[in-house]
Amino acid sequence: MHFDYDQVTVVNPEFPQRFNYVDRMLAVFGSGSKDDRMWKLDTIPELVGIELTASDIESASRWTCRLFRGGEKSDPAHPDFVPCYFFGNLAGPQITQPVPIAIALNGRIECTTRTSLDPGTPSEWTALLRDDLFRTDGNKVQFYEVEQTTDGFVLHGISY
């Protein structure tokens, strides 16, 4: 109910549009379950799930990675926290086009992303890996620049 001097306006709280944002969010991202659409937002989905032993890995990348969030180590003080959100940037030559990146966890490509399209932050990138992919006894994370060729993809190791 809203009072405006001599007028009273009554708003019915049961308006059907109040949850439209939830419907839109579920349509775009899904519910967040293991096999839902949220985990299919990779920039190069055909690489996800490939073992590194079956990949074409060549010379090192021109860039190095500075990792600000995410990693391979869990903090023993917080055993329920999994470092599955990654945020970093690439250092090296000036970036004029987005750089595609593959992230391998324990020998398998689990995610692909790219550097930002924002001209103010062209070297930054983010990625989200499923938390159930991480082992409790230690993990190995590797980053690769992805080069698309006529024969498929070539990976170039990015050191960090």
pLDDT confidence of residue 69: 87
CB count within 10 Å of CB 19 equals 10
Alpha-carbon gap, residue 153 to 136, rounded angstroms: 31
Q: How far apart are CA 115 and CA 100, in angstroms?
A: 7
Share of the chain above pLDDT 90, in %: 41
Strand partners of residue 116: none
Over the stretch 88-118, which tens digit does the pLDDT of each residue have? 999 999 999 999 999 999 999 999 999 998 8
Tokens of 127: 């990625």
Least confident of 15-19, 72-76, 99-103: 72-76
| Domains of the chain from N-terminus onward | 41-158 (2.60.40)
Query: Alpha-carbon distance 107 to 127, whole Å?
Result: 17
